[in-house]
Structure 1
């Protein structure tokens, strides 16, 4: 098991040995505050884009449901006639940067989440660690009313007008400690400065969302197939996301109970050996992992094992849409 997986498991269990990392957390917190202060004082430059910027992020490490929420928002804004674009760091991608993302872009070039976002929405999107360069590339290619930043809540070099902070109600804030003792990127006080979207099935606030799973489909690089899905089969649950337990809970909700868990680090670069097992029982995985696995199937078209993909859709409360319309109206971005 990798160190990343070990510490992720320790965070989820709130293991007592994490207290040994507290001095590192103090150093991280001090460095974070100093860096933020430098931007506040104007000693570091902040970029102000010519169009409104909306950041969707979180204060925790690991999955919070941010990407499905972003996809849902983009689809909604497109339906309302808002010319929206998206930027992302393109974590784990090779570049070159900045780069526009197309429906046929490869995950190793632009990142797995950008591939999923564009394949799901066909939204104009640019990726790269330099957010300013990505925005300028996007605006040189498209006329846009709004740009959404996928993550980047702690990227103080980018000015923003709207912040949506996704908070997973199931994980919560763990031991409420900063990295690496806990999984907080910044203090929980940050939740007082943005629009908090509670992610959970039994929300306590009006601004909430949950993920609704769809019918699993067969990942096939060449042709469409309508082979029926058998929830009673024995699966290998292969997952490389920030919070794998959410995927296992999703499988259970779909009546899929017979599966072996095979976890990889978030944004894992899959190899064929990762999905080689002693039998030909099918693999079941997430859409985010599927964008990494599909190129492998294209390289090895004779691969005999079925790979099933579970799609999810973010279902937002009415209050989320009302808040979004209010925030955009204040910025002069109106729905048609």
Structure 2
């Protein structure tokens, strides 16, 4: 079990030894509240509305698939949308526009995936103001979606959506590092909460729907379910991917890496199978790693997922959009999921 998995398991299982980290959680809370207060006083207001999709926990919750689904919905309504992100894992130089030719090494894995899937105008950088200003220099947009950035209080926002993974829950409900909360649970009272669950208890919910795996080198190849694959994953909550493979009746060996892991050839030296299977987020990095080795690319199979949102989510989104800009009415006159 990787270190990332061990920490995630301790949080989820509410391991008793985590109490030794409580003083650090108190320190984290003090620093967090100070930063929230100080940065909010001088926060940047963008000239167009900003919506943030984020989470209050460490690790993946499904926010990037949600961003992709929202972008595709807005595009279908002819609403000009742009996206910003920190560009975690990218080396810049920031701020930087993301294009179809951008690599994960430059802009990060999630921005690369978002643009490859949607071709949306996008800019990345740790300074969100700089990213927005660069984006608006090159594109006219009516709305900006921020992939994460809920805790980036230097940026004013008009809408805040938080994805809550019902399968993970909140563990021991403690702040970092005793638990995996980035903010107190009371923060959920201030935002729109989207429940990520296949068996939801609320009206505002989503789930990830996997599709048939495709080959990274040739999408026309037929997937062989009888093989045992090396399951390679570097996301915030690796078990979600393994659960997906179980549901697809795929046999595999686990290889979990840290979120946003920068893959090296040595990571695969101990893998014994002739084929591996991975997420779309990891695939963009493997494609970069082996871009000159089609034989290795042909070994990689990718499981695509799509965020499926409830009708109530779309209805609420429409209402919030109209509140932001009544001119959107003509675009949203015909509701569709």
2:32 counterpart residue number: 32
> 1:323 aligned to 2:316?
yes
Q: TM-score, normalised by structure 1?
A: 0.95
Distance across 2 between alignment mates of 1:2 and 1:169: 23
Report the RMSD for the aligned CA atoms in angstroms: 1.4
Greater CA drift, 303-312 or 143-152: 303-312
User: Helix, strand or coil: the match of 2:94?
Assistant: coil
Q: Which of 244, 249, 252 is matched with 1:250 structurally?
A: 244
Shift of 1:240: 0.2
The answer to whether the 8 A contact 1:198-1:208 is kept is yes
Cα pair distance change 1:17/1:52, threshold 3 Å: same
Counterpart residue number, 2:334: none
After TM superposition, give the deviation of residue 275 of structure 1 in Å.
Answer: 2.3
Aligned CA distance change for structure 1 residues 66 and 304 (closer, same or farther; 3 Å): closer
Instruction: Figure out how many residues of one structure are paired with residues of the other and give that number.
Output: 329
CA shift for structure 1 position 137: 0.4
Q: Is the 8 A contact 1:281 1:305 kept in 2?
A: no
Give the whole-Å Cα distance in 1 for the aligned partners of 2:265 and 2:36.
Answer: 42
- Per-residue deviation, 1:278: 5.3
CA shift, 1:304, in A, is: 7.8
Aligned equivalent of 2:99: 102
Q: Does structure 2 conserve the Cα–Cα contact (< 8 Å) formed by 1:61 and 1:184?
A: yes
Match of 2:178 in 1: 181
Q: CA deviation at 1:3?
A: 4.8
Q: Assess, with a 3 A threshold, how the Cα gap between structure 1 residues 225 and 152 changes in structure 2: closer, same or farther.
A: closer
Q: Work out whether residues 12 and 172 of structure 2, in 8 Å CA contact, stay in contact via their aligned partners in 1.
A: no
Structure 2 residue matching 1:298: 3-state secondary structure: coil
Pairing of 1:177-326 with structure 2 (within 5 A): 177-220=174-217, 224-256=218-250, 258-277=251-270, 279-303=272-296, 306-326=299-319
Structure 2 stretches lacking a partner, 5+ long: 332-337
The alignment partner of 2:224 has SS state of coil
When normalised by structure 2's length, the TM-score is: 0.94
Residue 121 of structure 1 is matched in structure 2 by: 118
Q: Is the 8 A contact 2:287 2:297 kept in 1?
A: no
How much does 1:273 deviate?
A: 2.0
Is contact 2:215-2:299 (8 Å) kept? yes
Q: 1:2 to 1:216 in 2, by over 3 A?
A: closer
Contact 1:84 1:146 in 2 (8 A): yes
- Distance in 1 (CA, whole Å) between partners of 2:233 and 2:29 is 31
Give the SS at the match of 1:279: coil
**Shift of residue 249, structure 1, vs aligned partner:** 0.8
User: C-alpha deviations, 1:170-193, integer Å up to 9, x for none?
Assistant: 001110000000000000000000
Deviations 1:96-143 (A, max 9, x none): 000000011010100000000000000000000010000000001011
Following superposition, the deviation at residue 194 of structure 1 comes to 0.4
Q: Bigger CA drift: 270-279 or 17-26?
A: 270-279
Residue among 139, 144, 150 paired with 1:147? 144
The superposition leaves residues 290-328 of structure 1 with CA deviations (integer Å, 9 ceiling, x where unpaired) of 000001221333438611100000000000101111011
Residue among 328, 333, 336 paired with 1:334: 328
Query: CA 1:18–1:320 in structure 2 vs 1: closer, same or farther (change >3 Å)?
Result: same
